[in-house]
Amino acid sequence: MKGSQKVIDYLNFLLGGELAARDQYFIHSEMYAEWHYGKLYERINHEMDDETLHAQLIVRRILMLGGTPNMTVDKINIGADVPEMLQADLDLEYQVQKHLKEGIALCEKEHDYVTREILVEQLKDTEEDHAHWLEQQLRLIDMIGLSNYLQSQMAEITP
């Protein structure tokens, strides 16, 4: 099936962001593991899996539309401590949300409602799961203090 080149190009743009999110979550999860914050490791490792799935869905859609996936990863931002890491991840999720909304509008303009639906589902996941959880963690740090928060995140990491 030959799709709109504008949609294919935008999907490749989104793909770079999803790959960046995957890589940023991967590095942050490994840092949490090294620091023995097992609960943070588990959650962020799960987020990495979600971002990988998002990228996979975009790759498959690009291929179905007759395009070639561009696997160039956008810039990532690695935090130096837990609050910086959470904030960097939240900033990335806000950026992804913005881009997904722009992509949804483009798909409507190009009458590609199947791609639009894929992006709507990713936006829902980004807003209701990823960004919301990160906002909650930063709010918890403000409410109970960093040391209490970090203590609550300690756990053994299951291989």
Domain parsing of the chain, residue ranges: 5-152
Residue 69's pLDDT is: 98
Establish how many alpha carbons lie within 13 A of residue 139's alpha carbon, considering only the half-sphere containing its beta carbon.
6
Angstrom distance (rounded) from CA 75 to CA 97 = 16
* pLDDT surpassing 70 at residue 20: yes
The percentage of the chain sitting over the pLDDT mark of 90, rounded to a whole number, equals: 94
State the pTM of this model.
Answer: 0.93
pLDDT digit string, tens, across residues 86-133: 999 999 999 999 999 999 999 999 999 999 999 999 999 998 889 999
Residue 51's pLDDT is: 95
DSSP characters over 12-51: HHHHHHHHHHHHHHHHHHHHHHHTTBHHHHHHHHHHHHHH
φ, ψ for residue 37 (rounded to 5)? -95, 75
* pLDDT surpassing 70 at residue 84: yes
Q: Give the mean pLDDT of the chain.
A: 96
* pLDDT surpassing 90 at residue 157: no
- Compute, in degrees rounded to 10, the torsion defined by CA atoms 38, 145, 125, 108: -150
pLDDT digit string, tens, across residues 35-78: 999 999 999 999 999 999 999 999 999 999 999 999 999 999 99
Residue 17's pLDDT is: 95
Residue 158's pLDDT is: 75
Q: Are 89 and 24 in contact (CB under 8 A)?
A: yes
CA-atom Rg of the chain in angstroms: 17
> pLDDT category, 159, cuts 50, 70, 90?
low
How much of the chain is helix, strand and coil, in % rounded to 5?
Answer: 80, 0, 20
CATH number for the domain formed by residue range(s) 5-152: 1.20.1260.10
Q: Are 78 and 22 in contact (CB under 8 A)?
A: no
Residue 100's pLDDT is: 97
Residue 43, token pair as written in the block: 């959650």
* pLDDT surpassing 80 at residue 1: no
